[in-house]
Structure 1
Amino acid sequence: MTISPSQPLTGLAAGTLTRVHHIALNVKDMSASRHFYGKILGLRELQGDDVPETLKQLVTDGKVANFELPDGLILDLFYEPDLSPPHPDPTQQFTRANHLAFNIAPEGFDLAVEVLRQHAVMIDHGPVSRPTGRGIYFYDPDGFLVEIRCDPLPQ
């Protein structure tokens, strides 16, 4: 399809964008962030042939780490050692993004909360219960707000 300047653009048709492919976060301490997302939250870190060709050298150099969620979403961590939020208090939002939310089965929610507590992860608030389910909000090593949430238990 050729677009001419005289054609008004109406936007993409519903369903054109099929899913979120990846989310990229800047991190100050790659080791702490890899431990947090890989070991504490249990995401699978891409290694070897699973790393996209365009990122292999950055991964080798320790500047990028990639994690895959079970639904195929990729979380990219970009090493920015000079990263400092505008405000050192993580409860003060410092980016346009509000938080990153992970879904968990309802029967695994309490265990996830206990894992966060055992690892002394800084909790912002929760667990909370709502008609849409339960959630807990906490901070990653760089002060980015993360949520683990679940749907309500079946009645």
Structure 2
Amino acid sequence: MEVRGINHVTIRVSNLRRSLEFYIDILGAKLVHKGNTDVYLDMGGTWLCLLEFKNAKPMDKEHICIDHFAFTVTEDHFPDAVKELIKHKVNITRGPIERGGGKSINFTDPDGNELEFFTGTLYQRMKNWK
């Protein structure tokens, strides 16, 4: 078997309209398709699907689940990305900090899903991991 990478990420959301505003207006995702309860977005070549569950409740940190996922941003663009998050009063959970061979900032979407902007690579992180 030869896996070539992650094909897409599907995120459960409680309010599709609110989430679309966040992912498109704040994070800069491009709308590819909008259905009744789902949307497909392109975010720098990463395919995201937002899937609406109106009565969904956030899981607490004690559940087994995906902790977060990170988007690559360039070192040059990182300060502007941080400014955009602050300008839109996005909930920042950690950073901005230098960590693991790059700059990092963690934040949540409107449903509390944790996301990260990171400037480094896997190999930079492994050189700097302690």
For the aligned pair, the TM-score class normalised by the smaller chain equals 0.7 to 0.9
Q: Are the aligned partners of 1:135 and 1:147 in contact in 2 as well (CA < 8 Å)?
A: yes
Whether 1:69 aligns to 2:43 is yes
| Superposition pairs of residues 79-118 of structure 1, within 5 angstroms | 79-87=52-60, 92=61, 94=63, 96-118=65-87
Q: Which runs of 4+ in 1 moved over 4 A?
A: none
User: Aligned partners of 1:30, 1:120: CA distance in 2, in Å?
Assistant: 19
The secondary structure found in structure 1 opposite 2:76 is helix
One-letter amino acid matched to 2:80: L
Q: Are the aligned partners of 2:28 and 2:43 in contact in 1 as well (CA < 8 Å)?
A: no
The secondary structure found in structure 1 opposite 2:56 is coil
Q: Which has the larger radius of gyration?
A: 1
- Residue 131 (structure 1) shift: 4.5
- Residue 69 (structure 1) shift: 2.4
- Residue 94 (structure 1) shift: 4.6
User: Aligned partners of 1:19, 1:100: CA distance in 2, in Å?
Assistant: 14
One-letter amino acid matched to 2:50: L
Aligned residue number for residue 51 of structure 1? none
Aligned residue number for residue 114 of structure 2? 145
* Percent of matched pairs sharing the same residue: 26
Q: What TM-score results when the alignment is normalised by the length of structure 1?
A: 0.72
1:95-117 Cα deviation digits (max 9, x unpaired): 51010100011001011101000
Which runs of no fewer than 5 residues in structure 1 stay unpaired? 1-11, 48-58
- Quickly say closer, same or farther: Cα 1:140–1:108, change in 2 above 3 A: same
- Residue 125 (structure 1) shift: 0.9
Richer in strand (by share): 2
One-letter amino acid matched to 1:44: K
User: Aligned partners of 1:95, 1:67: CA distance in 2, in Å?
Assistant: 26
The secondary structure found in structure 2 opposite 1:66 is strand
Q: CA RMSD in A?
A: 1.7
One-letter amino acid matched to 1:143: G
Which runs of no fewer than 5 residues in structure 2 stay unpaired? 122-130
User: Aligned partners of 1:34, 1:94: CA distance in 2, in Å?
Assistant: 26
- Quickly say closer, same or farther: Cα 1:93–1:105, change in 2 above 3 A: farther
User: Aligned partners of 1:17, 1:151: CA distance in 2, in Å?
Assistant: 22
Q: Are the aligned partners of 2:68 and 2:114 in contact in 1 as well (CA < 8 Å)?
A: yes
